[in-house]
Amino acid sequence: LRMPSCLLKLTRVVLSHKPWALFLLVFIFVSFTYIKLYWGIWEDPKSRGQPYGLSAGVRCAHYVPSSLNTAAGPSPSAGNVFFVETSEQTTPSYLFSCSVESAARTHPGSRVVVLMKGLAKGNTSLPKHWAFSLLSCFPNVEIRPLDLTELFSGTPLRRWYLWPLRHWEPYFLAVLSDACRIVLMWKFGGIYLDTDFIVLKNLQNLTNALGIQDNKELNGAFLSFKPKHEFMELCMQDFVQNYNGWVWGRQGPELLTRVFKKWCSLNTIKSMSCKGVSALAPEAVYPIPWQNWKKLFEAVSALELHKLLENTYAVHIWNKLSHGTKLEIPSQALLAQLYSQFCPATYTKMKQD
């Protein structure tokens, strides 16, 4: 067999430039290894080589309470509960699944709408992943693609989003999430929750409300507003007028705090209702301060758990800080007990894995 002329020439060039050829080969090998390692880190290991689908109609009865299955369906008068994923991620975590499941269980009369940027538009089938199969068992859960151009149309944030260099900013995904939630609240109203909440009680009676994170700031991980509310309109205006995508939290907690202080003519944040907008005390949705996030992984008694959650509607898990911490399942850790009680289907899957 004769070697093709192009390969022959390439071989001669490589042999005549041995050091450069060696460097090139090493560079290619290292680059290939890095890419494989990078994607290996970000890929859900359980998504490799096995189907995720639960057998619909066979196991759904095991996961979903009969009260949800026999319900008349979401009421048009009840506001939607929104979750948003602004990255391309389509392999939901246990916490993501728990957030949506707990919201679906506590809001049987509402649509729980999960908007994900990574889902292909026009494609009716979801990726094969256990979380999608599990959440699809809940009749009030809808998982849809997130169309950002459509979402921001007709708002002050349209021009902000369409600026071509926007995605180079260091905190773009977080800022994009901040933008989505205030536009969703202004356009559609309802409830917005971050995907690191565990919902304990129905939130529908908390109208035109947001939560106090600490004695300095409000937080937008939970929002509940009527559509076209003036407070959300002011938030959109402030987002554009005082925009700085290079400062962490500038378009999120800082923005909501600025607007609320102006709204109520305040110098400091406190639990109160002002001109129809309520700032809820920390125990309502942020019972564990972000500084004490490790408490989520500490064992608590049933009495301690009851006392801690007595006046609490939802628990923010501070996933940005807590995501790398090992959680024993089953255990008496506070977070494990929350999973067990408020998202039992996800908890069952965690125990299986």
- pLDDT, the chain, mean: 85
> Percent of the chain having pLDDT more than 90?
72
For the ranges 33-37, 92-96, 114-118, 311-315, the lowest mean pLDDT is seen at 33-37
Q: Three-state SS for 151?
A: helix
Separation CA 345–CA 342 (nearest Å): 9
Q: Has residue 276 been placed in a domain?
A: yes
Q: Which two tokens stand for residue 61?
A: 């009865």
What is the pLDDT at residue 11? 55
Q: What is the mean pLDDT of residues 216-243?
A: 97
Cβ atoms of 179 and 160 within 8 Å: the answer is yes
Residue 151 lies in a domain: yes
Q: What is the pLDDT of residues 88-114, one digit of tens each?
A: 999 999 999 999 999 999 999 999 999
Q: Is residue 173 part of a domain?
A: yes
Helices (H) and strands (E) in the chain, counts: 16, 10
Does some domain include residue 84?
yes
Range of the domain at 169: 60-67+74-282
pTM over 0.75: yes
Q: Tell me what pLDDT residue 36 has.
A: 39
Q: What's the whole-number mean pLDDT along residues 136-164?
A: 95
What is the b/e burial string over 175-200, where b = at least 16 CB atoms within 10 angstroms of the residue's CB?
bbbbbbbbbbbbbbbbbbbbbbbbbb
CB 146 within 8 A of CB 84: yes
Mean of the pLDDT values across residues 72-78?
59
In a domain, 31, yes or no: no
The identity of residue 136, as a single letter, is: S
Read off the amino acid at residue 117: K
Q: Is 328 within a domain?
A: no
Backbone angles phi, psi at 307, to 5 degrees: -65, -45
Q: Dihedrals φ, ψ of 118, to 5°?
A: -75, -10
Does any domain span residue 35? Answer: no
Residue 262: pLDDT over 70: yes
Mean pLDDT of 317-327: 95
Report yes or no on 9 lying in a domain: no
pLDDT of residue 82: 98
Instruction: Calculate helix-pair angle for 344-352, 334-342, nearest 10 degrees.
Output: 120
CATH code for the domain of 137: 3.90.550.20
CA dihedral of 292, 190, 114, 201, whole degrees rounded to 10? 50
Model pLDDT for residues 40-63, shown as the tens digit of each residue = 323 333 333 233 334 344 367 667
* In the predicted structure, residue 320 carries a pLDDT above the cut 50: yes
Helices 5-16 and 18-42, interaxial angle, to 10°?
100
Number of domains the chain contains: 1
